[in-house]
Structure 1
Amino acid sequence: MGSTRQDPILHVGIIGCGEISQVAHIPNINFLAHRFRTTYLCDISQQSLRHCAQRVLGETPKSTASAEELCASPDVDVVLITNADAYPVEQGILALQNEKYCLIEKPASICLRYIDRLIEAEKISKGKVFVGTMRRFAAAFLDAVEDYRNQAHPQRFDDFSKQDSCDRANKEADIYEQAINDNVLFRYDNFPVVYESGLSDIPFFGAHIEVASPRKTVRVIFDNPYIKGLPVTLLIREKIGDGFQERKIRKTYEDPYTLELLDLYDFVVNGKTPKSGAEDAKKDLELFRMILQAGF
């Protein structure tokens, strides 16, 4: 009989034992014990280290207050960085200097200068950067992207005068300027996107992405990511003949954090290209700058 290939178990060192590690990462690593094992914890709080160590299934992980110690340890294959915004780039560079793959929670940085340092460090390392934009891994989101790709797009023509083009552009600029007073509006080649953000005391999680066309809208509804098993839902509304159809699809009850870890595994073990790397994180910052400029 031939031997059966056994997939390796990745040893994970977690830097930052706060909220997201306690609620999402450690429980999901426990759940995916056939792929991952938490072997090292790092935090400046001894209380959080003790608390998180008790939440790790199996052998008790090592603990330290030193990110350098964790990143250099042979007991760590992958470094998971969930620290405050001031530290992820420095700790990501430490992981890369030790030839380690790392997952950096979003945002990887809020400074373009810092993210450029991370990109440069990745170029000379055997390790790679995976940025934890977990909502991109939701099955409903992936289906929405595929659905939009499969829609028929009308052919565009340009046989009109420069004067007509300028007149239209001026009028649209005035309209969009009024819209931006309350929202941020991004103009892509063939569709607009409105971005709104805010907090309230209403106990309701209202995150969603919607793409609209004349005959169809596709909305991805993200429920609270801190409650395991809440589905990400795909809501499709479209015109069928002279009628209307609405479909609500829950493809899976696997939460985006779990799906993200599975993608991380493929990234480290099988060389899969990550959805979000350091270069992608830089584009996030450029998008934030657009939002701020529009606000001002």
Structure 2
Amino acid sequence: MRLGVIGLGEVAQVVHLPLLAGLPELFEVRSACDLSPRLLQTVGDRFGIPNRYATSAELIEAGDIDAVLVLSSDEYHAEAVVDAARHGLHVLVEKPMCLSPREAEEIINARDQSGVTVMVGYMRRFAPAFLEAKELLPGLGRVNFARVHDVIGRNQLIIDQTSSVVRPGDLPQSAMQDRSARARALVTDAIGDVPSAVANAYRLLCGLGSHDLSAMRELLGPARGVHAARQWRDGGYITALLDYDDFVVAYETGVDEQLRFDAHLEVFTDTTSFRVQYDTPYVRHLATTLEIEQTSGDAITRTVRRPHLKDPYTYEWEYFHHCVVAGEQPKTSPEDFVSDLRLFAELVRHLDK
């Protein structure tokens, strides 16, 4: 499958391009684009990408590809996805797929009209430990409580210790201004004219939070609603209580300056609890584990399962290839992402009270 990569920033350099180079039987990166001439030359040379363009529109129009990977800034995801779909190209787009329901509708319409595959990059939902937890849960009895936790240090703290990343310093001021203006317009389109702290919280939900809440939905089903929510530190931290009829999920997220990554889903039943523990995706092959505590009679058993060391991103790419070839709808579809947008909007309504 011939690929075009849209955006050559951190996640392209650290994760996707090295991974794709290791899957030559499935993918060939034929083209790339970035607004930064420095990134385009340096990263293009590093990974031997033959065709290079300044914009996604130029890359898509040039052809010679079957699919695109959208890694650009969030504000431009929808534009690239819609354009690619209208040109008959399959799409894997990093989360968030978009920032507003209007954009999501445009993506779904473009996909339906062209018949291509559009998949959202929720790699945590492909981790073997997560899938094993999903299989385990129905046999554990009623759920009494669950916890979704994602409090991490800034990604750059980890990346700077473990990877050589080229960062752009040559973007025109007009491009930065356009990005900021577009972000404000899209957030307003999605949730209305809200205080800046609430808008920041919405962006945090669309970014980091989308991983957590998407995985929560697959594991436990959709939340019925939001009991309460609060943000602080100018939208940099969020906590919420999510309604699941006969139990509650506690959600908590934020980003700090500690050099660590703590993201997990934890579920409690009458005699068993388990935790799916994630580590940073910016150091490949760090294991996602399934930690289980189970009481039987007077004894408690604690086990840690590490089903596989294969990178969840690799599973995600293999799954994308399968969906395209087989013509199957991916589980992380645009409609699936719309469910997250609805929950983000409901959370924001509670934050804005």
Q: TM-score range by the shorter chain?
A: 0.7 to 0.9
| Contact 1:99/1:127, CA 8 A, preserved across alignment | yes
Q: Residue 77 of structure 2 corresponds to which residue in structure 1?
A: 88
Q: 1:212-239: per-residue Cα shift (whole Å, max 9, x none)? A: 1121112111101000110101111111
1:119 aligns with 2:108: yes
| Contact 2:123/2:313, CA 8 A, preserved across alignment | yes
| Counterparts in 2 of 1:273 and 1:242: CA distance versus 1, 3 Å | farther
Q: Which amino acid aligns with 2:131?
A: L
1:54 to 45, 60, 69: 45
1:194 to 239, 244, 250: 250
SS of alignment partner, residue 231 of structure 1: coil
1:259 aligns with 2:319: no
Q: Residue 290 of structure 1 corresponds to which residue in structure 2?
A: 346
1:130 aligns with 2:119: yes
Q: Residue 170 of structure 1 corresponds to which residue in structure 2?
A: none
Q: Which amino acid aligns with 1:36?
A: F
Distance 1:272 1:205 in 2: 34
Instruction: Point out which structure has higher relative CO (alpha carbons under 8 A, 6+ apart).
Output: 2
Task: Looking at secondary structure, tell me which structure has more helix per residue.
Answer: 2
Point out the structure with max Rg over C-alpha.
1
Distance 1:109 1:60 in 2: 27
| Contact 2:32/2:49, CA 8 A, preserved across alignment | no
| Contact 1:219/1:234, CA 8 A, preserved across alignment | yes
Distance 1:134 1:190 in 2: 29
Matches within 5 A, 1:3-14: 10-14=1-5
> Unaligned regions of 5+ residues in structure 1, if any?
1-9, 155-175
Q: Which amino acid aligns with 1:233?
A: T
Q: Residue 247 of structure 1 corresponds to which residue in structure 2?
A: 303
Distance 2:6 2:108 in 1: 20
Identity value in percent: 35
Q: Residue 132 of structure 2 corresponds to which residue in structure 1?
A: 143
Q: Residue 168 of structure 1 corresponds to which residue in structure 2?
A: none
Distance 1:294 1:98 in 2: 40
The TM-score with structure 1 as length reference comes to 0.84
Distance 1:60 1:85 in 2: 23
Count matched residues.
263
SS of alignment partner, residue 99 of structure 1: coil
Deviation at 1:249, TM superposition (A): 0.7
Q: Residue 110 of structure 1 corresponds to which residue in structure 2?
A: 99
Deviation at 1:147, TM superposition (A): 0.8
1:32 aligns with 2:88: no
> Unaligned regions of 5+ residues in structure 2, if any?
144-226, 232-237
The TM-score with structure 2 as length reference comes to 0.71
SS of alignment partner, residue 183 of structure 1: strand
Deviation at 1:277, TM superposition (A): 1.0
Distance 2:246 2:130 in 1: 20
- RMSD of equivalent CA atoms: 1.8
SS of alignment partner, residue 221 of structure 1: strand
| Contact 1:96/1:122, CA 8 A, preserved across alignment | yes
